[in-house]
Structure 1
């Protein structure tokens, strides 16, 4: 999961500084994400093609291996997230990530807040999205 996340992050966000080294990211997945959050992966013949992580009402992580972008996998993950959280979801994405913003807007999420990145470890301007059923 961590290696796919790192590949995806570096491909989708080449201008965003990683706040942690590769080994720290792997530890975070091993000791925090997997045991403490709700995590799903898409397995493609033994290789992680994508992942979805929910923490409470937050869509915490949705990353796809670069070779799996544009094939409907992200759509399936969002549908799963909405099924798991039918009362609504929130998420943050970086302002430089235009493709992610368009993706979430296409799935009914609305931008509700923009910040200069003071609350994220990357110190990167971000945008808050929320999805409420029926909106």
Structure 2
């Protein structure tokens, strides 16, 4: 568990009651960051997936702002940073940096992730953290059918 310098936001492992607020952060973040990408799942499907799969079965961490609730989430599956989403009002406050630092601590041998090609702010963010684009696809293998890019981070020897 980590707390920011002002003690306002704690990053901690998610628990059952965090499923709904984490899914809601995901939904708000996806809508704000990717307005042109059409999700093939309904909001209720996303919430059920968080409740039944993500929170109980994945290594999920949340940014908890206390009375402000859950304001960010990160899912790490082994060496894959599979999700990192922040509430739009909480972007630019260092939470993404903290999540990536935690992911690197949990997977010191390296990480990979996928992001959509249209998400240029994500590209800049991950590249700033040492990730390198290694593969571009036409999107035919993801649910959204949206062109994506795979990034890899390897620790410096």
Give the TM interval when normalised to the shorter protein: over 0.9
Task: Select the structure of larger CA radius of gyration.
Answer: 2
Q: Which residue of 2 aligns with 1:116?
A: 138
TM-score scaled to structure 1, two decimals?
0.98
Q: Give 3-state SS (helix, strand or coil) of 2:143's partner.
A: coil
| 1:58 to 2:80 alignment | yes
Q: Which residue of 2 aligns with 1:6?
A: 27
TM-score scaled to structure 2, two decimals?
0.84
Report Cα offsets for 1:60-88 as digits up to 9, x if no partner. Answer: 00000000101100000000000000000
| Distance in 1 of aligned mates of 2:117 and 2:81 | 17
Q: Give 3-state SS (helix, strand or coil) of 2:113's partner.
A: strand
Number of residues of Structure 1 aligned to a counterpart in Structure 2: 135
| Structure 2 residues not aligned, in runs of 5+ | 1-21
- The Cα of 1:45 is off from its aligned counterpart by 2.0
